[in-house]
Amino acid sequence: MTVSERKHFGLNPLSLEVQPLARKILGKRGFDSIVLIQKWKDIVGEELSLGVFPDKVSYPKGKRTDGTLHVKVAGGAFATLLEHRQKILLDRVNTFLGYPAISSLRISQTTALVSLPPEAPEKPQQLSKEQGQQLSEKLKVIEDEELKEHLYEVGKMILLKELAKPDGND
């Protein structure tokens, strides 16, 4: 089913509804599209993306080239890192955009804290003996042994997933 057919039935992808609104908001900040923000991590790399974020783009009057990319930086370490990689970042942004849109960076530090993503807790590889027995007990009513084995495996995966959640150990 094509997008136009979905629209005919009132089923529009959310991205089609959000794009005009995002374009309007981001246009006030000098961004031609949301893509630069969406792909920021791919453009600057994992390390810089944790503490550097594009804020706005300003261009000389009547031009859409040789602009200044204003970035927010969390903390001095990221500012120093960005200073050393400024030329690389400008090259990557311009390569991504496909033309020399940006010729300079303006860095402003912010007090916003950048937190590293939490480490995933170690997932238990097996159920405890007690958990396995409880699951087997619940499946006792199933007569088909093959079905029982499959349901046990599904139940085991669900329990292991629940145990892996940070609040799953309560």
pLDDT (0 to 100) of residue 64: 81
Please tell us whether the domain made up of 18-110 is placed in CATH 3.30.300. yes
Report whether 159 contacts 131 (CB < 8 A): yes
Token pair 């997008």 in the structure block, residue: 3
Letter string b/e over residues 131-151, b meaning 16 or more CB atoms within 10 A of that residue's CB: beeebeeeeeeeeeeeeeeee
Q: What is the pLDDT along the chain (170 residues), one digit of tens a residue?
A: 554 444 445 666 666 666 666 566 555 555 665 677 788 889 888 888 888 888 888 888 888 888 898 888 887 788 888 888 999 999 998 898 888 888 999 988 877 544 444 455 555 567 888 988 998 898 888 888 888 888 888 888 888 887 777 654 54
Can you give the pTM of this predicted structure?
0.52
Residue 166 makes CB contacts below 8 A (sequence gap 6+) with 118, 121
pLDDT (0 to 100) of residue 24: 61
* Residue whose C-alpha is closest to residue 43's, from 82, 94, 105, 84: 94
Letter string b/e over residues 17-40, b meaning 16 or more CB atoms within 10 A of that residue's CB: eeeeebeeebeeebbeebebeeeb
CATH 3.30.300 boundaries in the chain? 18-110
pLDDT (0 to 100) of residue 168: 47
